[in-house]
Amino acid sequence: MPLLPILRYPDPRLKTIAAPVEKIDDGIRQLARDMAETMYEAPGIGLAATQVNVHKRLIVIDASETRDELLVVINPELIESEGLQVGEEGCLSVPGIYDKVERAERVVVRYLDLEGQQQTIAAEGLLAVCLQHEMDHLMGRVFVEHLSPLKQLRIKAKMAKQARITA
């Protein structure tokens, strides 16, 4: 069981736009640790604070094969993107659902680390997808919103059925 409860699509709280983190303190550091533990246990490769009903601009990612390269990204800002890739995505907020999504192939993101230092990361492939996916959450978007209206309706129906079965 994950440490923090993960909101399930189409929960309206997933549409909340996250506010910037004003101060990086022990509370934010603990939230990042709890989110990382939740992500690893789920298991997933990324988690946005929005998904655990904390509406701050904080994400955790570990897209490594060895699951030991945790990236904590605070107040991310996309400063560059190029190319196009289409890949299958899933989401901890939409369990069991996977579909193809078009994303930028390469991105450059500026962010703050847990010490409040500004960092820049250039990413491609899976890490680029993960950064874009999690940053979407901070803007109140879930990956299924990149799909056709018909697919979105089908996914909502499937998620509602799952919720009834587990209730």
Catalytic residues: 134
- Contacts of 15 by beta carbon, 8 Å cutoff, 6+ apart: 140, 141
Helix and strand element counts for the chain (H, E) = 3, 7
What is the phi-psi region of residue 85: left when phi exceeds 0, alpha when psi lies from -120 to 50, beta otherwise?
Answer: beta
CA 152 – CA 167 distance, rounded (Å) = 22
Token pair listed for 148? 């056709």
CA 37 – CA 35 distance, rounded (Å) = 5
Rounding to the nearest 10 degrees, give the CA dihedral for residues 161, 44, 134, 65: -150
CB atoms within 10 A of CB 21: 18
